[in-house]
């Protein structure tokens, strides 16, 4: 779940020497769309912990841009299975929905629903607890259970149960100024998460549960958050079990909170060419009645609105837009759809 969950944001005006405090108001909401720059080949030494740090990660690379967004979980295909969730994110590549709970105790991952299987975390896995500030510590235990069966060549059927327990220890071990390739963020909080995963495979024979084998692994995550942002999560680094050598990074490129809550994923519309220079063609509208197209900047500012009727395609003039990231949203009786595009003259 790297998507994820994963989410990118604007600056707060808190004092530089203040200790940042992540609260429920910093967690994702319906309509939040965000773009992350990821690097699965990232290697390097983890920056130091402590107060009033100046973390310089301006050399991070953006090898892959990943855009996603949150919608209300109500009305999604697997809402009944994940009935404690209040947010969902759709992945059109896998036709799956990820489910989350954003509440007074933090932001939690409930699992994933798809046509092929459901992956349920019960209890849910915590992404960030709230409130959380420098020096705070907290432990979360998540669990997934999957029952399967198979029949061998003799016709004997075996019933198996795979149990995964994930223990995450959160430690807010630093705060300060964070420099990313796209800017400087003041008043950020770093949270170190030591995640230990225990996998156990059992054979089910009547009421008995017999252990066949087990394994354990450990991963260390470092996440930076900035209170006052639209989604607060601005940088994530994954490290080895010792927490000293990095092997993955993702950082916030842009975020937006759309005025109309999303009912589809961020990639539902098709835009071409992308990047665009003079004009961009929007397809996949499926609008048989009156509706609107909204054009937003990467910071969420509404640039323009266009009335549309009975069309599947629309051409927009972008020749006067500055280079950068933009969002298109369609709104009609058929639903709300969102897509992003780049302008490069």
Contacts of 333 (CB under 8 A, 6+ apart): 289, 291
Mark whether 291 and 324 lie in a shared domain: yes
For residue 90, the enclosing domain spans 21-134+174-193+220-257
Mark whether 287 and 228 lie in a shared domain: no
Mark whether 35 and 181 lie in a shared domain: yes
8 A C-beta contact, residue 128 and residue 23 = no
Q: What is the pLDDT at residue 147?
A: 94
Mark whether 128 and 229 lie in a shared domain: yes
Contacts of 120 (CB under 8 A, 6+ apart): 81, 82, 110, 111, 144, 145
Q: For residue range 263-320, list pLDDT tens digits in order.
A: 444 445 788 888 888 999 888 765 555 677 888 876 667 788 887 776 677 888 999 8
Q: What is the pLDDT at residue 208?
A: 92
Q: What is the distance between the alpha carbons of residues 58 and 6, in angstroms, rounded to a whole number? A: 20
Q: What is the pLDDT at residue 1?
A: 42
Mark whether 51 and 30 lie in a shared domain: yes
Backbone angles phi, psi at 26, to 5 degrees: -95, 0
Domain membership flag for residue 92: yes
Mark whether 125 and 226 lie in a shared domain: yes
Mark whether 331 and 185 lie in a shared domain: no
Mark whether 289 and 226 lie in a shared domain: no
Q: For residue range 20-68, list pLDDT tens digits in order.
A: 999 999 999 888 888 888 988 888 889 999 999 999 999 998 888 887 8
Mark whether 180 and 225 lie in a shared domain: yes
Q: What is the distance between the alpha carbons of residues 226 and 21, in angstroms, rounded to a whole number? A: 8
Q: What is the pLDDT at residue 332?
A: 61
Mark whether 249 and 299 lie in a shared domain: no
Domain membership flag for residue 55: yes
Mark whether 292 and 314 lie in a shared domain: yes
> Cα dihedral sign for 64, 70, 76, 81?
positive
Mark whether 183 and 278 lie in a shared domain: no
How many domains, in total, are found in the chain?
A: 2
Q: For residue range 109-161, list pLDDT tens digits in order.
A: 999 999 999 999 999 999 999 999 999 999 999 999 999 999 989 999 999 99
Task: Please measure the distance between the N-terminal and C-terminal CA atoms of the chain and give it in whole angstroms.
Answer: 35
Domain membership flag for residue 209: no
Entry pTM: 0.76
């Amino acid at each position: 779940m790297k998507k994820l969950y994963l989410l990118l944001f604007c600056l707060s005006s808190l004092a530089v020497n203040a200790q940042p405090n992540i609260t429920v108001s910093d967690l994702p909401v319906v309509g939040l769309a965000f773009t992350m720059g990821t690097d699965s080949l990232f290697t390097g030494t983890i920056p130091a912990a402590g107060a009033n740090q100046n973390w310089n990660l301006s050399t991070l690379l953006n090898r892959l841009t990943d855009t996603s967004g949150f919608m209300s979980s109500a009305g999604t295909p697997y809402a009944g299975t994940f009935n404690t969730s209040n947010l969902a994110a759709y992945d059109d590549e896998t036709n799956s929905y990820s489910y989350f709970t954003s509440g007074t105790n933090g932001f939690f991952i409930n699992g994933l629903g798809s046509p092929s299987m459901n992956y349920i975390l019960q209890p849910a896995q915590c992404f960030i607890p709230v409130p959380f500030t420098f020096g705070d510590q907290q432990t979360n235990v998540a669990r997934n259970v999957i029952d399967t069966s198979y029949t061998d060549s003799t016709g004997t059927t075996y019933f198996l149960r795979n149990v995964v327990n994930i223990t995450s220890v959160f430690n807010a071990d630093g705060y300060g100024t964070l420099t990313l390739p796209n800017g400087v963020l003041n008043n950020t909080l770093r949270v170190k998460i030591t995640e230990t995963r225990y996998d156990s495979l059992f054979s089910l024979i009547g009421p008995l549960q017999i252990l066949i084998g087990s394994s354990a692994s450990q991963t260390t995550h470092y996440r930076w958050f900035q209170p006052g942002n639209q989604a607060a999560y601005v940088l994530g680094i994954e490290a080895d079990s010792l927490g000293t050598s990095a092997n993955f990074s993702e950082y916030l490129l842009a975020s937006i909170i759309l005025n109309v809550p999303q009912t589809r994923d961020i990639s539902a519309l098709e835009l071409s060419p992308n990047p665009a220079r003079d004009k961009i063609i929007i397809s996949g509208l499926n609008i048989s009645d009156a509706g609107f197209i909204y054009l937003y900047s990467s910071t969420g500012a509404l640039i323009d609105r266009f009335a549309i009727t009975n069309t599947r395609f629309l051409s927009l003039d972008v020749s006067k837009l500055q280079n950068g990231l933009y969002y298109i949203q369609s709104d009609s009786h058929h639903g709300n759809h969102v897509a992003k595009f780049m302008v490069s003259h």
